[in-house]
Amino acid sequence: MYSYQLLEHALGHGELSDAELDLDPPRHLLDELAKRTGLDQHRVQAMTMAGWAPWLLDSLTPAPDTYETYVHQFSVLLPSTRRQIYTPRKWLPWLAETQVLRGCRECLESGPTILLFWRLPLMASCPVHRHRLETYEGHPADYIKWTTSAEDQRELPESLTLMDRHTWQAITTGSVDLPRRLVHAGVWFRLLRTLLDELSTAQGRYGRQLKDVRRVWDHCGHPFRAGLHSWQPFETLHWARQQQLLEAAAAAMEMIEDGSLIALGTSAHLLHPEPKAPISDGTPPRSLTGAAGVQKQPTLDELWNQVTTTLDTCIAAAKTDPVVAKHLFDFARYGCRSEESARGLRDTFAELQIPLDFLSQTKGNGPFA
């Protein structure tokens, strides 16, 4: 039975296309599918793009300031003031009006399972088989014709493999292990989209970073700005250019981590390696026993008291200083994975008598605001 037959005769939704099913199908249809399959409702909803708001995208409804809210919340290569803020019409992150059929050849040969995230230009390779995703025509269950280009057959750089594994980790676990810390999947998606925007920024915006950005493109062997003569949103580009930009982003991350590229963005520290421990010269460490006696490590209770004292200090400062309030709110909202939890966070701030005036002064909601 084909999916449209199941939808029409058993579920009463034969008019829905595959694209509509992927994007935002009716909620009662998802509830019925969960009921009949025995799967959790949240798992069924996660098989649609609507189920990935606000992690992957803030909303499925385009707004005039969506691009600025999503792409300019972070900065990696360039200071945020150096980049031009664009306002493309009806723009949504990662979603294009014309979808390209792409997938892993080995995955599809083992079974006609199409992953939702193959529809998006988020990854250029399969993290399981470590092969490039290839374009095709047809429907894997009946007929498939691979339309592999020379771009699809190139060797897969190790930096791109690593970046795609990070993206896959964000999709499957909800967080990503970066060199300095564990970050929420929503942060990773926006960080990656920011870097893609910076690598396609107009040449005149780079300033003294121009040579460094050119080195990134030289490192991955592609034309500067993927050959773009005028700015276009990443989502509207041809898949070949999207792959080049993804490779450049992976190369930039690798170069930032190994120290060969100096990034001036406020979020670049997330890609820096952990500081190396000092190399011992062979001198035995000094005894912790001195004139004042033995220096004891603080107990768990003492450490917890330090944490609560610091938190109380932050809350007290946030009640009078909107900058502190915003920093505290941004820190706390990293744990919010739904609108309900974000609303609970706002209620908590209200109970603590911390003003949330800064929310009305910020364009857009941002992730989990």
Q: Are residues 242 and 135 in the same domain?
A: yes
Q: Are residues 213 and 326 in the same domain?
A: no
Q: Are residues 264 and 329 in the same domain?
A: no
Q: Are residues 226 and 326 in the same domain?
A: no
**153 assigned to some structural domain:** yes
Q: Are residues 43 and 185 in the same domain?
A: no
**283 assigned to some structural domain:** no
State the pairing for strand pair 182-184/102-103.
unpaired
Q: Are residues 14 and 70 in the same domain?
A: no
- The tens-digit pLDDT sequence of the chain (369 residues) is 777 888 888 888 878 888 888 999 999 899 999 999 999 989 999 999 999 999 999 999 988 889 999 999 999 999 888 888 888 988 999 998 788 899 999 998 887 788 999 999 999 999 989 999 999 998 887 788 988 776 667 789 999 999 999 999 999 999 999 988 899 999 999 999 999 999 999 888 888 889 999 999 999 999 999 999 999 999 999 999 999 999 999 999 999 999 999 999 999 999 988 776 555 555 555 544 444 444 566 776 677 767 777 887 888 888 888 878 888 887 887 666 677 777 878 888 887 888 887 665 544 444 444
Q: Are residues 226 and 102 in the same domain?
A: yes
**160 assigned to some structural domain:** yes
**64, 220, 233 from 90: Cα distances, Å:** 8, 32, 11
**159 assigned to some structural domain:** yes
Q: What is the pLDDT of residues 292-348, one digit of tens each?
A: 444 566 776 677 767 777 887 888 888 888 878 888 887 887 666 677 777 878 888
Q: What angle do CA 197, 52, 256 make, to 5 degrees?
A: 35
**295 assigned to some structural domain:** no
* Domain count along the chain: 3
Q: Are residues 157 and 14 in the same domain?
A: no
Q: Are residues 95 and 190 in the same domain?
A: yes
Q: From CA 259, how far away is CA 266, in angstroms rounded? A: 16
Q: Which helix (H) or strand (E) holds 66?
A: helix 66-71
Domain that includes residue 323, residue range: 300-361
Q: From CA 8, how far away is CA 12, in angstroms rounded? A: 5
Pull the structure tokens for residue 244.
């080049």
**94 assigned to some structural domain:** yes
Pull the structure tokens for residue 352.
């603590």
Q: Are residues 212 and 325 in the same domain?
A: no
Q: Are residues 161 and 202 in the same domain?
A: yes
Last residue of a domain, one of 271, 292, 308: 271
**221 assigned to some structural domain:** yes
**218 assigned to some structural domain:** yes
Q: What is the pLDDT of residues 77-96, one digit of tens each?
A: 998 888 888 889 889 999 98
Global pTM? Answer: 0.73
Q: Are residues 166 and 30 in the same domain?
A: no
